[in-house]
Chain A
Amino acid sequence: EAGVTQFPSHSVIEKGQTVTLRCDPISGHDNLYWYRRVMGKEIKFLLHFVKESKQDESGMPNNRFLAERTGGTYSTLKVQPAELEDSGVYFCASSQGSGTATYEQYFGPGTRLTVT
């Protein structure tokens, strides 16, 4: 079974440009999460999808960030326009739906975003 995949693995862009990150969760996982780790800080939650619906977007820093999960499969996270403080590693995670015993979240390898 394939794990959570993310694309690209690295992205270097200039301030003001746009970047779109993609996450493919494990097939059949209803829950999809976006997290971010800024240098020296802990991993922090951004957004949670249940299927195609946004369950919780309380962690999104501002309206420059837009996440979608059309069809309830893969998800994209767009940053437009990017700012220097958006630099960090963006992780995606997925988990099965309700009724599971452990609520384990499976993480992707992350996308390292550098804004210069």
Chain B
Amino acid sequence: GQNIDQPTEMTATEGAIVQINCTYQTSGFNGLFWYQQHAGEAPTFLSYNVLDGLEEKGRFSSFLSRSKGYSYLLLKELQMKDSASYLCAVLNSGNTPLVFGKGTRLSVIA
């Protein structure tokens, strides 16, 4: 079977750093995506990792370890607008459908 785990909820303070973890066991692997979703809106692409290591993009970074089946999304200098759900999703191969975790609801407080 396929399984993707991430924490259900997290709370962090404005200006701080937060790390959202994701572990996966899937039948294939051709990359891991992180999406951000505000309530009632479309999930929007944040990052894609297919090789081990850290990818940095502004305040957001994403890390992947294929051998451990593990990824994290790191958000720095948190802003109130970062309050959203963060979805971890694995691509088994090519243009196949994404396999999603349940998402982590992040609340940024003052």
Contacts and interface: CB of A to CB of B under 8 A. Distances in A.
A56 to B, nearest CB: 7
B40 A95 contact: no
Contacts of A41: 102
Interface stretch (B59-67, B70-78, B93-101): B93-101
B42 A91 contact: yes
B43 interface: yes
Interface string B25-55: 0000011010100001111110010000000
A109 B43 CA distance: 7
A97 B94 CA distance: 10
A85 interface: no
Contact of B45 (A44, A97, A104, A108): A104
Interface residues of B, number: 25
B42 A105 contact: no
B18 interface: no
Interface string A80-116: 0000000000010101011000111111111000000
Contacts of B97: 33, 35, 45, 48, 56, 59
A102 B30 CA distance: 9
A102 B42 contact: no
B42 A50 contact: no
Contacts of B33: 104-105
Nearest to A46: B97
Interface in A13-46: 31, 33, 35, 41-45
